[in-house]
Amino acid sequence: MNDMMGPFRQTKGGSSRQNALLDRYSGLSEVGPLPSKADEASCVETQLRELQTLTGKKFKDLRSDNGRESMGTLEQWFARNGSQHQRSTPYMP
């Protein structure tokens, strides 16, 4: 599961958002700082590679909300790696 959080008060490193990734299979989680929404794709890619290295398993799918910030870039990455992106149901009031 993946979710971007923020904005928060800016850190000394310049980040005002965070990206959280949870591997439901292993229970491992990864949280990465994001200076901006535009950095989400590269952060998710890095987090997925790190989790794959730690678990020794290739991930099959990633579930996230319907955020559109960087989905085009991530969809290409998923296709290259033989993985799927599953989107949760959009918020309905």
Dump the DSSP string for 36-62: SGGGHHHHHHHHHHHHHHHHS----EE
What's the pTM value of the predicted model, to 2 decimals?
0.76
Hey, is 19 helix, strand or coil?
A: strand
What pLDDT digit, counting tens, does each position of 9-45 carry? Answer: 888 888 889 988 888 888 888 888 888 888 888 888 8
**Which amino acid is it at 84?**
Q
State the DSSP code for 35. S
pLDDT in tens, 63-83: 887 666 566 778 888 888 888
Question: Which domains, from first to last, does the chain contain?
Answer: 2-87 (3.30.420.10)
Give the Cβ contact number of residue 58 at 10 Å: 10
